[in-house]
Structure 1
Amino acid sequence: MASTTINLAVVSSGKPIRNLPKQLRVASNAHTNELYRSVAAASRLSIHRLRITQGRDRIPVSDSADLTVKEFGLEEKDTIHVKDLGPQISWRTVYIAEYLGPALIPVLFLFPLRPYLYMYNEIVDTMPEPNKRQQLLCALLTIHFIKREYESMFVHRFSNATMPARNIVKNTSYYWLMVSSMAYQAFRPGPTSATPTPISKTAMLCIGVALFVFGELANMNAHFVLRDLRRPGSSERGIPCGLGFGMVTCPHYLFEIVSWVGIYLVGGIRNWSILVFIVVGSVQMALWSKKRERRYRLEFGGRYKPKRFVMIPGVV
């Protein structure tokens, strides 16, 4: 098919962009990622800082190597709006940073920093050694966040390459502070570290470890399933299937909760900081799951079997 060249009017959206041309010529059979490259070259900004929307209905123009300008619907003398999203940072970098602290904090709190964190009147002579429950909890927390680091570096594929750079402060602060709170409470020396429970400590620890192991392995399996549905460098997905995907939209979140319930049982039922982390995380993951279910229904249409529950069977 013969290619034609079309002229597009270019308008800044929000804060004015220096060097942004008022008009842009582009081939109708050029892919939309070439449109992004042209705007980036003209404005001297990174492609990742730009968001381009169609002028008529403000539909975002995807940065795609598969979709042409004509297929998207851009025509001669159409207007495109270009927005500078500000300094960006890669999603992978943010994930690695936010999990690095939690992977190190439990060990630091339980061993080298222990004498400095728990200097209070109950400690009269020497600092008691960490008990077996505390050492086990430290191991589970460390394993969990090392697993997350591994997935962030080698498993996850991100539909968007970057996010606003300021998000790294928000994301890392949440995880680092929450895990610090968990570790500080759970690793406290003295009588408060021994938490009485309705059933034997041994049974509670065994149940907790079993839930943790199952949750971690099932969660990782779900992440591999999701990864294999998306081609490298593409945002297009297939319909997921496998363990848990027949029950809920996002079984990886379900298994994440199962894993954290195991951590909670090992840490002791009076460890409110772990419980708060589970509740807050579950609410956020439920919102993400509902959003993903809506996206699946829209994206796959009749090929997708709608799920009644998006995260926890019978609950949400």
Structure 2
Amino acid sequence: MLDNCLLLTICSGAVKLSRKRMHALHKGRAAVEEAMLPGKQSEPKSFLSLSQFLLTSGQVGQCAIQKHSKISYVEVEILDAHTKKQICVLEKILPSFTIADVKHKFHKACPQWYPSRVGLQLECSGPLLKESKVIKTLAVSSIITLYFRDLGTQISWTTVFLTEYTGPLLIYLLFYFRLPNLYDMEDINHCSRHPVVHLACACHSLHYIKQILETLFVHSFSNGNTALKKMLQGCAFYWGFTTWMAYYINHPLYTPPSFGNRQIVPAMFCFLVCGAGNYFTNCVLVQVHKTSTKTHFVRPTYNPFTWLFKLVSCPNYTYEMGVWISFTVMTQTLPVAVFALMVSLQLIIWAQRKHCKYQKDLKNYPSYRTAMIPFIL
């Protein structure tokens, strides 16, 4: 009972104190309003209250201006990576800017270097900075030094792949239809084509048509450009080997595989299965990259062609290698075998690189997965 009385006394005291403070506040406001009236300007107390009000409001406004003006900028000095001479200094760069924003600023300062051609590095011999890199993660002081490297003429990845894949499709068809001056006319008149020649043309054309359609409607490229010289190298590789393969397979003196249909039919079936597997795994990879975060790795789906994800990190490369090995067995020609070997070596390098990246970046990545060939590689 005594505790309750004490609590009531404290509460009533607090209420009275708050009422006094409210009354004083209203009184102060009234004094200011009276000071602003023409008839009350002669009173000293009112004038003092008005002066204090004006001084206080001025201080608040000044603090707001100072707080608003505290924006820290960064200066970015661009040096040539080869000569180490200064190209320009970019001023008023916000710490939240990305390397892509810096490239656009650099393009405005030096219009001859458009953003996709500009490569920026922290060190002369260091790696290129990604366009998503934020400036504040690089800033040690208010001035940042970056080194410029000319990446050369840039072309979109879509254009690169369409050029690389359209060439082999057309070149092979030129040899298949045996345009004039490609072969000796006497050999053409005296020799008939084996059915495997027609089958090889159908499989080869189907493969590259699939690649073209995937480039247009399936694949998405995060890095939109590449150097022109890389496209020329890719075209020389694919176009040159296709010319070599097509010349031998469509030659009038071409001899069919040693075991006939017992060798051709299983190889053709394997070719079609690997082509389908390559398509479905590419679709899964594109879908995962669009929807999931970087902390998740690709898992198999209900589609049997994707079950290879349980064992390897890059089943699309496994199927791609299977396509060309099957084509080699089906045609039994040296040029196809050499091309399959070259493609397989390149795919193994890419697969191992991606596999190591997955193991480094993704938590709880399955340890039993290999890069490309189950349990082996």
Q: Deviations over 1:138-162 (max 9, x none)?
A: 0000000111111222222223222
Q: Deviations over 1:98-152 (max 9, x none)?
A: 1111112222211142x5322177x2x8253432110000000000011111122
Answering whether residue 181 of structure 2 is matched by residue 116 of structure 1, we say yes
How many residue pairs were aligned? 301
Q: Say which one has the larger Rg.
A: 2
SS in structure 2 at match of 1:277: helix
Answering whether residue 130 of structure 2 is matched by residue 62 of structure 1, we say yes
| TM alignment of 1:68-217, pairs within 5 A | 68-73=134-139, 75-113=141-179, 115-119=180-184, 123=187, 126-190=189-253, 192-197=254-259, 201-217=260-276
Using the TM superposition, give the Cα deviation of residue 272 of structure 1 relative to its aligned residue in structure 2, in angstroms.
Answer: 0.9
Map of 1:230 onto structure 2:
289
Map of 1:53 onto structure 2:
121
Map of 1:10 onto structure 2:
78
Root-mean-square deviation (CA, aligned residues, Å) is 2.8
Letter in 2 for 1:230: H
Distance in 2 (CA, whole Å) between partners of 1:231 and 1:71 is 26
Map of 2:32 onto structure 1:
none
Using the TM superposition, give the Cα deviation of residue 275 of structure 1 relative to its aligned residue in structure 2, in angstroms.
Answer: 0.8
Q: Is the helix fraction higher in 1 or 2? A: 2
2:94 alignment partner, one of 27, 34, 39: 27
4+ residue stretches of structure 1 with deviation over 4 A? Answer: 15-18, 55-59, 72-75, 235-238
Deviates more, 1:133-142 or 1:149-158: 149-158
Using the TM superposition, give the Cα deviation of residue 246 of structure 1 relative to its aligned residue in structure 2, in angstroms.
Answer: 1.9
Letter in 2 for 1:211: C
Using the TM superposition, give the Cα deviation of residue 306 of structure 1 relative to its aligned residue in structure 2, in angstroms.
Answer: 4.0
Report if aligned partners of 1:55, 1:78 keep a CA contact under 8 Å in 2: no
Distance 1:251 1:72, change over 3 A: farther
SS in structure 2 at match of 1:298: helix
Using the TM superposition, give the Cα deviation of residue 236 of structure 1 relative to its aligned residue in structure 2, in angstroms.
Answer: 6.4
Query: Where in structure 2 are there 5+ consecutive unaligned residues?
Result: 1-67, 301-305
SS in structure 2 at match of 1:229: helix
Higher relative contact order, structure no. (Cα contacts within 8 Å, ≥ 6 residues apart): 1
Query: Where in structure 1 are there 5+ consecutive unaligned residues?
Result: none
Letter in 1 for 2:181: Y
SS in structure 2 at match of 1:160: coil
1:280 alignment partner, one of 313, 335, 342: 342
